[in-house]
Amino acid sequence: MTAAFSAADLDDLLAILIDAADVEILPRFDRLGAGDVSTKSGPLDLVTVADQAAERRIAAAVAERFPEAVFIGEESVAEDPARLGRLAEARLAIVVDPIDGTFNFATGLPLFGVMAAVVADGETVAGVILDPVTGSHMTALKGEGAILGHRDGRAARRLRVAAPLPVVEMHGCISWSYMPDPLRETVAARMPRLAAAYTYRCAAHEYRLAATGGCHVLAFGKIMPWDHLAGQLIHTEAGGFSAKFDGSPYRPTDLEGGLLLAPDEASWHALRESLFGG
């Protein structure tokens, strides 16, 4: 266990996410009305009544179970951007994405997740990603590996990223559309150097794919903490290597600089050269 967050704490956090999924998210899936979906920063940046209700329920449960923690949720930050600044000074913070993959959720595609990360004194120490549809979940405590568990009684197993391969044989999820110009055009033109490049429009499932060994590479231009803290820790604990595009470590307070993930450090450098040109 970490000094700030134990395995029992992580189990309780997972239970909070499961409860919100069962009560607020799944009953609304594929049943949203015209007034239940709105936009935030643009036409593809959606929020639904399920996102908002789930975050409220998670926030209330977190306040009761972890009263010492600062709660930072995607939707609460959308309403009050200054809240995000509390992450830098928090002794303990819980960062939540109530529905990752809202576009998929809102359009009836069952490819979305619920994510939470625990940050202690500026370091990510725990993470959980829940798939509400299947009931499976990935969890990690810093230094203790990553686990794939299930609600249906199947045995849990330790996660391991894919073995490294030459770049031409690797494939994965490249979120190029959120990268700044001219990097956006460079990466889009260089993606054919991989065996395949694709996106699920859902970081939760993209991290699952990488952490279970189903793909080799993830690249993200937009790195809001609720989208990446849990997944990056899980990927690391599954044996992977990650860094910002310039090679510097990814920190919980980083909002720019992109994030590239690979099976190991050598693969990371090879992928960076191939996709970014050095």
Which residue ranges make up each domain of the chain?
A: 7-158, 167-276
Residue 213 corresponds to which tokens in the numbers above? 């060994």
Which tens digit of pLDDT belongs to each residue from 59-73? 999 999 999 999 999
Which tens digit of pLDDT belongs to each residue from 188-204? 999 999 999 999 999 99
Cα–Cα distance for residue pair 39/46, rounded to 1 Å? 4
Looking at the domain that runs over 167-276, which CATH code has it been given? 3.40.190.80
What letter represents residue 108's amino acid? G
Question: Is pLDDT at 116 greater than 80 in this prediction?
Answer: yes
pLDDT of the residue at 1: 42
pLDDT of the residue at 53: 98
Which CATH number is 7-158's, of 3.30.70.1900, 3.30.540.10, 3.30.70.141, 3.40.50.880?
3.30.540.10
pLDDT of the residue at 278: 60
Question: Is pLDDT at 19 greater than 80 in this prediction?
Answer: yes
Residue that the structure tokens 């500026």 belong to = 122
Cα–Cα distance for residue pair 173/275, rounded to 1 Å? 12
- How much is the pTM? 0.96
* 179 in Cβ contact with 190 (< 8 Å): no
Which tens digit of pLDDT belongs to each residue from 30-45? 999 989 999 987 787 8
The three-state DSSP-derived secondary structure of the chain is: CCCCCCHHHHHHHHHHHHHHHHHHHHHHCCCCCHHHEEECCCCCCEEEHHHHHHHHHHHHHHHHHCCCCEEEEHHHHHHCHHHHHHHCCCCEEEEEEEEECHHHHHCCCCCCEEEEEEEECCEEEEEEEECCCCCCEEEEECCCCEEEECCCCCCCEECCCCCCCCHHHCEEEEEHHHCCCCHHHHHHHHHHHCCEEECCCCHHHHHHHHHCCCCCEEEECCCCHHHHHHHHHHHHHCCCEEECCCCCCCCCCCCCCCEEEECCHHHHHHHHHHHHCC
* 146 in Cβ contact with 238 (< 8 Å): yes
Q: How confident is the model at residue 2 (pLDDT cuts 50, 70, 90)?
A: low
Cα–Cα distance for residue pair 183/38, rounded to 1 Å? 30
Which tens digit of pLDDT belongs to each residue from 119-165? 999 999 999 999 999 999 999 999 999 999 999 989 999 999 999 99
**Residue 208, CB-side half-sphere exposure with 13 Å CA sphere:** 22
Distances (CA, A) of 158 to 38, 107, 115, 161: 39, 33, 19, 10
